[in-house]
Structure 1
Amino acid sequence: MSEDSKRSVVVERTATGHFVATNARGGTIRFGTASDGGTSTEFTPVELLLAALGGCTAADVDVATSRHAEPAGFSVSVTGDKVSDELGNRLTDLTVTFDVVFPEGAGAERARAILPRAVKTSHDRLCTVSRTVESGTPVTVTIKDD
């Protein structure tokens, strides 16, 4: 793998159950564990995974369709069931649902026509997040030696 293929974030604790992730470009996102009884509005790590699934495929589909017409509405909802069983905690039944509306016009007709193919291509080949989840990529966890 080349250095250009490497992706990374650093996650730092800001308080009990609260964290900030920083990417290599300096962007940040705050999240937490909802250990406060569910009153915090911060995303949980599971919600970030769902957002990553939806965001990755939404970006692919947006690029493919919006070159033909600007959507009048574009949203993606992502759901999953959190289970705890003999395999541990995980999500099952992940579903990504597109709700895309284009205005009238020739470009919009073309955008509507390619929407199903764009969604399928993103799912089957392009979306790094869903492709990683579906392929079951192993995760290595280490502790840094000082």
Structure 2
Amino acid sequence: MPGRAVTVVAMTDESSLRSVTIDRAGPGRFTATNARGATLSFGTGSGTDFTPVELLLAAIGGCTAADVEVATSRHTDPSTFSVTVTGTKVEDEGGHRMTDLTVTFSVAFPDGPSGDRARAILPRAVKTSHDRLCTVSRTIEAGTPVSATVTDANESPEPS
């Protein structure tokens, strides 16, 4: 795909390195590709594609949903499992940012002993994900710095 690629990389040892590559797919449209080859399209909000802010909200909810699903589904599969993430986009002297981020779980389990066990651990699973496990929300709450650099795509070495 033609265009400028931006790579976001967590700088740690290789066993925990994560990365995605973003390629321009057209005016206001982009495609993210992960190291395993999966792709996700998004845009600037002029169409129906997710925006980067919506992807951030999805990442927050998806991370904690995955943690909670693992913990509760050990006992039984939920009959309903929905997570809603909301926030307010503001602009102040510091620029654009999100405030009032809230993750709301709506989960139901079948009647019976296994459903009772899953219901009993649900609040603890949500709290544990928020307090310790969810890399996405933990990173946001820690205020991890993000660096941005520019490289000249014309000077990149040719693949061998």
Fold shared, TM-score > 0.5 on shorter chain: yes
- For residue 15 of structure 1, the aligned residue among 17, 22, 26 is 26
How much does 1:2 deviate? 2.3
Number of the residue aligned with 2:51: 44
**TM-score, normalization by structure 2:** 0.87
How much does 1:42 deviate? 0.3
2:30 and 2:49 mapped to 1: Cα distance? 10
> What does residue range 25-64 of structure 1 map to in structure 2 within 5 Å?
25-34=36-45, 36=46, 40-64=47-71
How much does 1:144 deviate? 1.2
In terms of Rg, which structure is larger? 2
Number of the residue aligned with 2:106: 99
| Unmatched segments (≥5 aa) in structure 2 | 1-11, 156-160
Give the percent of matched residue pairs that are identical in Structure 1 and Structure 2. 68
How much does 1:87 deviate? 1.1
- For residue 95 of structure 2, the aligned residue among 88, 99, 103 is 88
Deviation sequence 1:87-139 (CA, Å, 0-9, x none):
10000000000000001010110000000000000000000000000000000
| Unmatched segments (≥5 aa) in structure 1 | none
2:50 and 2:120 mapped to 1: Cα distance? 35
1:19 and 1:2 mapped to 2: Cα distance? 28
Greater RCO (CA < 8 Å, at least 6 residues apart): 1
Q: Cα RMSD between the aligned structures?
A: 0.7
State the number of aligned residues: 142
How much does 1:70 deviate? 0.7
Deviation sequence 1:52-87 (CA, Å, 0-9, x none):
000000000000000001100000000000001101
| Structure 2 residue 132 is matched with structure 1 residue 128 | no
How much does 1:23 deviate? 0.2
**TM-score, normalization by structure 1:** 0.95
After the TM superposition, which parts of structure 1 deviate over 4 Å for at least 4 consecutive aligned residues? Answer: none
